[in-house]
Amino acid sequence: MNLVDYHTHTYLCRHAVGEPIDYVKMAVSKNLTEIGVSDHLSFSIPEDSIPLDKLELYVNMVEEAKRLYGDRIRVRLGFEVEYSYDSLDSIARILESIDELDYTLLSIHKMDGWIVNSSRSRDKYMEVDLYRLYEKYFNLVCEAASYRLFQIVAHIDLPKIFGFKPIEDMKPLYEDTAKRLAKAGVCVEVNTSGFRKPVAEVYPAREFLEILRKYNVPITLGSDAHRPEDVAYRFRDAIDMILSVGYKSISVFEGGRRIEIPIF
């Protein structure tokens, strides 16, 4: 079976532990086909980002892990990039300057000045119209994807993290989002970190994944590990869901180019 983990962090973002090589070793021990290191790059939430003066160190550490373990596993260099329109040019310049880059995850944690996944934001969810909130979030994701700067959408329905879900039928919104993502040519990550959060399910929700499948939006897999032991966290459950909605392959990336590999 081909399993890949395209979403991992390192101590450089200052809220995770471990070096790239620790994640790579863990991925080898769990028999993964590929491991992607994708630490945070964020202008709008600088306290959660790799400091810009550590970018070179980051790239060098991933390259070193590649050199040492490349005969046992394919190691990919990535970033989880926080999308904000204001920082788009700066982000693009940085990404273009890194020759070794394989892929970027597009992620949105901050919207309208508040952090969607911060436990301090729980009260905010009580105040807002949840359907409008999800609609706005998906719109922002589609807007970001349309710039074709990012290969993979990370944790696509993050606003559900604390279990706040609209009572309305979400299907039309999922349909609209899936169509726009298909048009943007972007891949969506099945992210198992939701199992570690109050919502206790993967991103995206099963119904959403079914619709993404319908529009042939490619997928990949990520644990969003912030410590090496979470590499490939509950991938068995994710794979069961992926197969049951009809996907037979997952995507990997080399130098920004998408390659589809069979799950079996």
Site residues (CB under 5 A) for Zn ion?
Answer: 80, 107, 224
Q: How far is the CB of 5 from Zn ion (least distance, A)?
A: 12
Q: Are 66 and 107 in contact (CB under 8 A)?
A: no
Q: Cβ closer to Zn ion: 46 or 246?
A: 46
Q: Cβ closer to Zn ion: 107 or 192?
A: 107
Between the CA atoms of 204, 205, 206 and 208, what dihedral angle is there, to the nearest 10 degrees?
-70
Q: How far is the CB of 246 from Zn ion (least distance, A)?
A: 27
Q: Are 170 and 208 in contact (CB under 8 A)?
A: yes
Question: How far, in Å, CA of 242 to CA of 218, rounded?
Answer: 11
State the number of CA atoms in the 13 A half-sphere of 217 facing the CB.
33
Q: Cβ closer to Zn ion: 11 or 215?
A: 11
Question: How far, in Å, CA of 130 to CA of 171, rounded?
Answer: 15
Q: Cβ closer to Zn ion: 94 or 215?
A: 94
The position carrying tokens 């101590």 is: 11
Question: How far, in Å, CA of 203 to CA of 195, rounded?
Answer: 9
Q: How far is the CB of 4 from Zn ion (least distance, A)?
A: 15
Q: Cβ closer to Zn ion: 17 or 68?
A: 17
Q: How far is the CB of 204 from Zn ion (least distance, A)?
A: 14
Q: How far is the CB of 39 from Zn ion (least distance, A)?
A: 8
